[in-house]
Amino acid sequence: MTTRSRSVAAYPSAPYVVPFVVFVALLGLPSILPAPPLADAVIRLVLMTAVILLIARPALDFSLKAPVSSVLLGVVVFAIWIAPDLLFPGYRHELENAITGVAKSSMSPAALASAPVLTLRTVRAVVIVPIVEELFWRAWMMRWIISPNFRKIPLGTYSALSFWVVAVLFASEHGPYWDVGLAAGILYNWWMVRTRSLGDLILAHAVTNACLCAYVIAAGKWEYWL
C-alpha cells in the first residue's frame, strides 16, 4: 500500500474536505500576507492546484453520464443567478444585511484593470471552484450527513435531510447572493441525485461559472465576484 493509499484509508474525508478548507482559508490571505494582485492570484491558483493534485486526486472522477444535459443545466443556473438583478434593478440591495453581507467586489481597482489577474480569476472560478465545491458539498457532505461512514453511501443517494441541509449551507456560502445560491444548490443537488456522477456536477458547475465570468467581465458586473 502506498503512502497516499494509507492516508486515504486513515482519513477518508481528507480528499473531499481539505481542498475546500484550504480554499476558504486562502480567501483571507490578502489580509494576512498582502501582495500585488497578480502575485496573489498566482499564489492562490498554484496552491489550490497543488492541493487538488496531491490530496484530492484519489476522490476525483471526471467521467460523464450526461454531458449535454450537464452543460444545459450549467447555463440554466447561470440564467437564474443573474435574472433577479436584470428583471428587478435594485433588488439585490433589498437583501443586504449584516449577516449575509453586501454585493460588492473584494477586488481592488488595480486587479480589475489587470487582464492577467482577470484571466487567473476566471481560471480559478471555472476549473478550481467546481472541483473543490462539488467534492465537498455533493460528493462528501450529502453522503456524510446520511452516514459518517460515507464511502458506503453511493453518490447521489437521496435523503431529505442531507439534500436540504447541503442546499441551505451552499446558499449561505454565497453571502448576499444566498437566494440564487439556494436555487443553484437545489438544482445541483437534484442533478447529483439524478446522475450520481461527480464528473457531471463538476461540468455543470464549471459551465455556470464560465458563463458568469464572461458576463462579469463583459458587462463590468464586478459585484458578482465577492
Tens-digit pLDDT profile for residues 25-84:
998 877 777 889 999 999 999 999 999 999 999 999 999 999 999 999 999 999 999 999
Residue 2: its pLDDT value, please? 54
Q: 66-69, long-range: CB within 8 Å, 24+ apart, which pairs? A: 66/195, 66/197, 66/200, 67/200, 67/203, 69/200
CA 156 – CA 83 distance, rounded (Å): 28
Tens-digit pLDDT profile for residues 142-190:
999 999 999 999 999 999 999 999 999 999 999 999 999 999 999 999 9
Residue 91: its pLDDT value, please? 85
Tens-digit pLDDT profile for residues 11-24:
899 999 999 999 99
What are the φ and ψ backbone dihedral angles of 181, each rounded to 5 degrees? -65, -35
Residue 9: its pLDDT value, please? 59
Alpha carbon of 125 to those of 70, 72, 119, 134, 210: distances in Å?
17, 18, 10, 13, 7
Strand partners, 101: 97
Phi-psi category of residue 51: left, alpha or beta, with phi > 0 → left and psi -120 to 50 → alpha: alpha
CA 73 – CA 87 distance, rounded (Å): 21
Query: Residue 113: which residues within 8 A CB-CB, separation 6 or more?
Result: none
Tens-digit pLDDT profile for residues 73-120:
999 999 999 999 999 988 888 878 888 899 999 899 999 999 999 999
What are the φ and ψ backbone dihedral angles of 158, each rounded to 5 degrees? -90, 135
Query: Residue 187: which residues within 8 A CB-CB, separation 6 or more?
Result: 73, 76, 77, 80
Residue 7: its pLDDT value, please? 53
Grid look-up 498566482 returns 42
The domain ranges of the chain are 62-224
